[in-house]
Structures are given as C-alpha cells and as structure tokens.
C-alpha cells in the first residue's frame, strides 16, 4: 500500500505507532549494546515496501528535505549542550579532522572506488564525498548512550568533529554533482563556493546565535511554554536564512547552538531539555523515513560491493585520514585509533545519497544502496563495539554525571548573576575539603550538590567528593576562578 494513498488518520496512526515502538525498544538496544539508531532504521525497513506492513514509500526528495531539517535540529541540540571550555583545548584538532580529515577520506575512498572497484571517476568521487564525514546524529547518540567515559578531551573532540564536518561533505557532494551537468563549475568557482559557504556559515552562526540569546533574555513572554517554540522557530530561521544568503546552514545552526548554550538565558534548563527531546524525535523520524525509503530486496545485489567498500572505509580510509589530519598535534596513537574507530556513518551519508536522484543519475539507486549498506555496517560493527574499543585501548575514564535539578534559575536581563554547573574532577585538590575551605570568589554560593542519585543542600562543613556536580550561583566574571580552583590536582591520580 502506498503511504500517500492511506487515509490521513491511518498515516498518523502508523507514524505514531512506529515512534512509540522505536522508543519502547530503546531499552533493548541499551541492554544489548546495539546502537539505537540501528533500531530506528530497522523498524523503518520492516514497515517499508519489502517489510511486514508493506508501506510503499520512494520519495527521495521528501526524504532529503525531512533529513535536512532533522539534521539541523540535531546539530543545534548538540551545539546547545557543548561546553566551550571543554571544546576550546581540542578546537584545532577538531577543525583539522572536520576539514582535512574529510578531504582525505573523500580522496582515499574515491581512488579505491575508481581503481579497485572500477567505477567511473565522477561516481567514485561522488561516493567518496557522500561518506566522507562522520555523522553527528550517530556519534552524539552512541557517545551519550554507551555509558562509558573516555580520557579527557576525547568525547569533546569526537562531538566537535561530527558536528562540524557535515558542511564540507555536503559541499563536496553538491560540487561533484555540479560536474555532471552541462555547465560544470571551474576550480576557481569551486574554491570561492567553499570559502563563501564556510565564512558565511561561521559569521551568521555567531551573529544569529548571539541575537537569539539576547532576544530570549529581552522578550517578556507571559507563557513559559512559548520560549521553546521561539527557540525552535529560531533554529529554522538560522537554517533558512543562512541557506538563502549562500552560507552553510548546518555549520551555522551548530555554531549558533554553541553560542546560545554557553550563555545564561531565561528558562535555559527547560529549553535545553526540550531541544534534547526534539533532537531525539528528529533522529527517530529521520531514521524511520530513511528505513522506509530502502528496498531491502535490492541490497543483496550490492552486498559484495558494499562489503568491500565498507571495509576499506572503516579499516583503511578513515584511520589514514585521522592519522594524517592529527599529524603535528600531541595525540597518543591509541587516541588516534579510537577516533578512527568512532568515525560512525549514519543519517548524513544516506541523506546525501538521495542528492543524485535530483540529478536523475542512472546510478542513483546503486549509490544509495551501497551507502546504506555502508551505514548499516558502520552502526553494527563500529557502533556496538565502541565501549569494548575504549577498554581495550586503555582510554576509559570515570563517566561524568549529567545532573538533574529540582528547580531552575531564571536569568534576568539586567542581572549579572548566573547559575552554573561545575564538576569536581577525580583527583582534584578540592576533594576532602569543606565548602568553607574552597576559597571561592566573593558572592559565589554553592546552592546544590548532585552526588550519585541524590541532591544535597550544602553547609559550610559539607565535604567535597570525587565527581560531585556543583550548582553554583555566582556573578559574571567569577566562573574561570571557580573552574581553576576545582581543576587543581591533589595527590590523587586522575581515574
């Protein structure tokens, strides 16, 4: 049965049932270490034309549009929860991985596809461009549901890379497709396009992110529920405005998310929770839609090509690109291996694989199913073994807790006071000290301590423990001093 032919109520019933089933199976995926995105994708395939429900869906253009909007929200949510203080030390490493790493991966895969697999040069470079970036949705999802901590800086590096490398992959894909037409772009115009996309994406992300933050604090809404609506509309505005002006919309929304998330704004905690929920919904809808678009019966015909392509990407192209991109940085070889292994492919490559349909390439269907096979392999092989790889390489660290609080601080526009979250590092010199001994800046107050599964209201004689999450009410300008005090290491070695 064709999806468009179904009664509207049946369409809603089918969609809601698939979403509920996807959420219900999350516990199964967590228990057995299966990436949840693979669960969503499988449900979509089972409901599709070759599956149990036999829902006929083959609208590649609609899939591309749904996927692009979903990816924008996922990137914004990822940026919103990115701590700049953790990203700053790995910024240049992340930029190198997000640019040079993508270009090298594209080149290596293209050469393999052309000279080993026998593809036409355009198809070879198109395949290389489509799979050149790691997927933000997959990496964010796996890292936050794997329940394993990594050595300091690794999680931030992986999230920064996955959040920032999609724009170049999109640009490479559209550029290669440009050579298919009668009016192929020149190398000069291609270089200018790359510069324009990145420069405008960065500038608009910074400017619009700051304006949204200012607007959230200045506007006086009578209904708290309107703030998440305003923030959601702002994401769409940043995406559309940047795209229309000629910048890269994915880079812009990610940067806007970082700008907003690292500042204090009204109802911040509830808005962050809301956007996290929206990001989950977008992931589910996106992967269900991609699953519906796939015809599993056609995958066996490209299985041999898909296996060879996947193995080369995972075992050769990705590690080679990572090691070369991180040359000159102080990164341990084990960390490079782990970064190579966490190079997950997910929704972004599948969405990019729908682009050739717009050009009506004869090989569009083959490209799509090879890329889909590669994504399945990546999620199943790499995604499910990340915790094992972390332990084998000796890069495991104590998992930082994500605290939940029974109240929320509402920022006022003219107030210089902010409520910030700090984690007492394992091995910190502050461990074992009483609150009154911490020497925090004047007018700074620890309002709550999140320890294990409990909340503590501290007194001056409350002792600090490893891993405590502190909720500190402090004036602007004092945050670096507090962070410096807590980060001083004592006699203990960091776990």
- Look at residue 316 in the predicted model and tell me its pLDDT: 95
- Look at residue 255 in the predicted model and tell me its pLDDT: 92
pLDDT tens by residue, 412-428: 555 567 777 788 888 88
Q: What's the mean pLDDT in 348-360?
A: 83
- Look at residue 4 in the predicted model and tell me its pLDDT: 55
- Look at residue 300 in the predicted model and tell me its pLDDT: 81
Q: What's the mean pLDDT in 293-311?
A: 84
CB < 8 Å & 24+ apart, contacts of 20-23: 22/284, 22/288, 23/284
Decide: 196 and 246 in contact? Cβ < 8 Å: yes
pLDDT tens by residue, 64-85: 888 889 889 988 988 888 878 7
Shortest CA distance to 236 belongs to which of 285, 282, 290? 282
- Look at residue 491 in the predicted model and tell me its pLDDT: 55
Angstrom CA distances, 188 to 103, 245, 421, stand at 17, 20, 48
pLDDT tens by residue, 105-157: 999 999 999 999 999 998 999 999 999 988 766 776 676 666 667 777 788 88
Given pLDDT bands bounded at 50, 70 and 90, which one contains residue 492? very low
Which pTM value belongs to this model? Answer: 0.76
Residue 334: is its pLDDT beyond 80? yes
Decide: 318 and 343 in contact? Cβ < 8 Å: yes
- Look at residue 200 in the predicted model and tell me its pLDDT: 93
Q: What's the mean pLDDT in 386-410?
A: 70
pLDDT tens by residue, 432-448: 999 988 888 888 889 88
Residue 2: is its pLDDT beyond 70? no
Shortest CA distance to 272 belongs to which of 230, 228, 229? 228
Residue 485: is its pLDDT beyond 50? yes
Given pLDDT bands bounded at 50, 70 and 90, which one contains residue 159? confident
Given pLDDT bands bounded at 50, 70 and 90, which one contains residue 493? very low
pLDDT tens by residue, 37-55: 778 888 888 887 776 767 7
Strand order in the sheet with 469-475: 417-423, 469-475, 445-451, 454-456
- Look at residue 402 in the predicted model and tell me its pLDDT: 56
């Amino acid at each position: 049965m064709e999806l468009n032919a179904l009664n509207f109520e049946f369409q809603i019933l089918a969609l809601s049932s698939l979403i509920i089933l996807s959420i219900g199976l999350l516990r199964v995926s967590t228990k057995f270490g299966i990436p949840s995105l693979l669960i969503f994708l499988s449900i979509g395939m089972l409901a599709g034309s070759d599956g149990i429900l036999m829902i006929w869906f083959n609208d590649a253009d609609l899939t591309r549009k749904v996927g692009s909007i979903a990816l924008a929200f996922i990137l914004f949510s990822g940026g919103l929860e990115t701590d700049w203080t953790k990203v700053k030390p790995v910024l240049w490493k992340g930029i190198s991985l997000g640019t040079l790493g993508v270009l090298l991966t594209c080149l290596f895969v293209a050469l393999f596809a052309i000279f080993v697999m026998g593809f036409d040069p355009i198809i070879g470079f198109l395949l290389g461009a489509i799979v050149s970036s790691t997927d933000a949705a997959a990496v964010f999802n796996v890292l936050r549901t794997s329940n394993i901590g990594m050595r300091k800086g690794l999680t931030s590096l992986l999230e920064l890379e996955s959040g920032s490398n999609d724009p170049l992959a999109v640009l490479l894909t559209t550029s290669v497709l440009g050579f298919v037409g009668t009016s192929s772009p020149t190398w000069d115009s291609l270089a200018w396009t790359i510069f324009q996309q990145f420069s405008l994406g960065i500038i608009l992300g910074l400017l619009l992110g700051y304006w949204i933050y200012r607007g959230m604090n200045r506007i006086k809404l009578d209904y708290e529920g309107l703030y998440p609506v305003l923030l959601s509309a702002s994401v769409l505005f940043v995406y559309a405005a940047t795209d229309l002006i000629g910048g890269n919309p994915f880079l812009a929304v990610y940067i806007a998310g970082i700008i907003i998330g690292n500042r204090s704004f009204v109802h911040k905690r509830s808005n962050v929770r809301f956007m996290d929920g929206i990001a989950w919904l977008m992931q589910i809808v996106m992967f269900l839609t991609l699953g519906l678009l796939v015809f599993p019966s056609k995958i066996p015909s490209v299985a041999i090509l898909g296996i060879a392509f996947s193995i080369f990407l995972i075992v050769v192209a990705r590690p080679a690109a990572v090691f070369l991109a991180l040359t000159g940085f102080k990164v341990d070889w084990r960390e490079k291996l782990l970064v190579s292994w966490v190079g997950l492919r997910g929704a972004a490559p599948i969405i990019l694989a729908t682009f050739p349909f717009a050009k009506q390439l004869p090989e569009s269907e083959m490209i799509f199913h090879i890329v889909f096979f590669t994504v399945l392999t990546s999620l199943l092989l790499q995604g499910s073994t990340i915790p094992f790889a972390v332990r084998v390489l000796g890069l495991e660290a104590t998992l930082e807790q994500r605290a939940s609080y029974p109240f929320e601080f509402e920022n006022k526009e003219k107030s210089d006071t902010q409520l910030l979250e700090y984690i007492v590092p394992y091995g910190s010199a502050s461990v074992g000290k009483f609150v009154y001994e911490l020497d925090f800046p004047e007018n700074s107050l620890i309002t709550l301590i999140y320890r294990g599964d409990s909340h503590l209201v501290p007194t001056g004689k409350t002792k600090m423990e490893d891993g405590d999450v502190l909720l500190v009410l402090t004036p602007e300008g004092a945050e670096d001093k507090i962070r410096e005090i807590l980060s001083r290491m004592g006699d203990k070695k960091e776990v």
